Amino acid sequence: MKLLYTLFIFLLINTVQAQQTITRDPFITGMLEEVSAANLEQSVRKLVSFHTRHTLSDTLSKTRGIGAARSWIKAEFERYNKDNGNKLQVQYDSFVQPADGRRILEPVVLKNVVAILPGTAPADKRMLMVCGHYDSRVTDVMNSKDFAPGANDDASGVAGVLELARIMSNETFQTTIVFVAMVGEEQGLYGAAHLAKKARDEGWDVHLLLNNDMIGNSYGMETDLKDNSRVRIFSEGVPAAETKEQASLRQATGGENDGNARQAARYIKETGEKYVDHLEVKLVYRKDRFLRGGDHTPFSAQGFTAVRITEMNEDFNRQHQDIRTENGFKFGDLPEYVDYTYLQKITRLNLAVLANLGLAPAPPQYPVLITSTLTNKTALKWTAPGGKAPAGYYILIRETTSPFWEKKFFVAETSAEIPYSKDNYLFGLQAVDAAGHESLIVVPKPGK
Ligand SMILES: [Zn+2]
């Protein structure tokens, strides 16, 4: 009896602790409702209709090949622009990709398709970027002729980006949002590498890049796993572009799990699960799948915060496969195998993150963890960001062994002292406005 009673109290405490107050911004939920599975399916099927979107395929035909595909994507962005009050800047990001002796045998003109929704705060130079890749392939990566539908890889990602541009370009955000359909992913991430280098050379402030590559498959055939309620976020740990000073600070503070991409991944989990029903955002602490890469990789290499968003289960009978039937089984990345309501959920996840960040104040500036005296309390200070004024700040705390933030203290001032030792906990800081839009998380640096 006593044991049962103890168990009951234990369950009660745990239930109470598990309760969370969720307040969704009706403006954002309104946009989420606009994300249409039917539109997403239409875009995927249209992209498949170009027969192949291989990077080296035909550029002259109006109906087949990569040239027709990129014209259609550009025309779609232009259509949203016209319908939504001409706020989008639609353009090709064209460049000559030299031969690499491997997957590009002679120089070729490649074009990313870009639509920019300028932010309304001129002083706020931050850019939020979201991308998918529109090129496709079959088994032989050099085959530019055969039917390469690429419905899930990655018409799903491009369809998501188009739907986000359609909905978001009808609204205004203080931060600039950039929608991109990348080229050349399958040949060696060439479109993303070009755009990431251009962003670095031209001093763009890329605050976050969300790379959506394969976001529509909910069935893993080999393992017979059906999963339309989870999605993976891959984030790098030790930053690829880390300087010597950053490396020694990381080693001195145990910051190997607290790089910008990890913080962004935690942010995506919190925001996505707050706004999208029946979606668990699973964080994988690895820059991409085992030994693999994607269009976020060149952005990480240039020092930007970039993550990959991908379905929970990949289906290798569909990915990069020649379209064929063997022993009654149909191989190939065909549109009938895409789960469009799952794709809708992942598009909503992107929208929730972009909208929250697009409306949030910038993160706290010059965050310092004060180390002038030895104490078991932790004193923090920072400066208010320019642009939209925050209503206050969150101090985030977690155990050093915990993957996620565990406690969140609200303070209205730009300094605080809390009774948790910096020897035993990790700390982060966020700015938040009165409506609850939170900035990305910054880690305070030791200082005076
Ligand atoms: Zn892909």
**pLDDT tens digits for range 147-179:** 999 999 999 999 999 999 999 999 999 999 999
Q: Which residues have CB atoms below 5 A from the ion given as ligand 1?
A: 153-154, 213
Give me the pLDDT at residue 16, please: 43
Calculated CA dihedral for residues 155, 160, 165, 170, nearest 10 degrees = 140
Q: How far, in Å, from the CA of 306 to the mean position of ligand 1?
A: 16
pLDDT band at 123 (very low <50, low <70, confident <90, very high): confident
Average pLDDT, the chain: 94
CB-count burial class (<10 Å; 0-12, 13-18, 19+) for 356? buried
Please determine, for residue 1, whether its predicted confidence score (pLDDT) is greater than 80. no
> Ligand 1 centroid vs 321 CA: distance in angstroms?
13
CA of 440 to the centre of ligand 1 (A): 27
Q: What is the mean pLDDT of residues 220-229?
A: 91
Residue 373 CA to ligand 1 centre (angstroms):
51
Q: How remote is the CA of residue 307 from the centroid of ligand 1, in Å? A: 14
- Tell me if 425 sits within 8 A of 378, measured CB to CB: yes
Q: How far is the CA of 212 from the centre of ligand 1 (A)?
A: 8
Cβ count within 10 A of residue 120: 14
- Separation of CA 438 and ligand 1 centre (Å): 30
Cβ(40)–Cβ(340) below 8 Å = yes
Token representation of residue 396 = 């985030």
pTM flag (> 0.75): yes
> Above 50 in pLDDT, residue 127?
yes
- How close is the Cα of 157 to the center of ligand 1, in Å? 9
- For residue 32 the two structure tokens come to 């989420």
Does 13 or 311 have the greater pLDDT score? Answer: 311
Looking at per-residue pLDDT, the higher value among 116 and 16 belongs to: 116
Residue 20: per-residue pLDDT: 65
Question: Could you tell me where the DSSP H helices lie in 202-258?
Answer: 244-253
Measured in Å, residue 208 CA sits from the centre of ligand 1 at 19
Beta bridge partners of 407: 397
d(CA 411, CA 182): 41
Judged by DSSP in three states, 296 sits in: helix
**Ligand 1: distance of its center to the CA of 271 in Å?**
25
CA of 214 from ligand 1 middle (Å) equals 6
Which pLDDT tens digit goes with each residue over 30-64?
A: 999 999 999 999 999 999 999 999 999 999 999 99
Terminal CA-to-CA distance of the chain, rounded, Å?
Answer: 56
Give φ, ψ of 224 to 5 degrees.
55, 40
How does pLDDT run across 254-264, given as a tens digit for each residue?
999 999 999 99
Q: Residue 413 and residue 21: Cα distance in Å, rounded?
A: 23
Q: pLDDT (tens digit, 9 = 90+) per residue, 343-381?
A: 999 999 999 999 999 999 999 999 999 999 889 999 999
How far, in Å, from the CA of 277 to the mean position of ligand 1?
Answer: 26
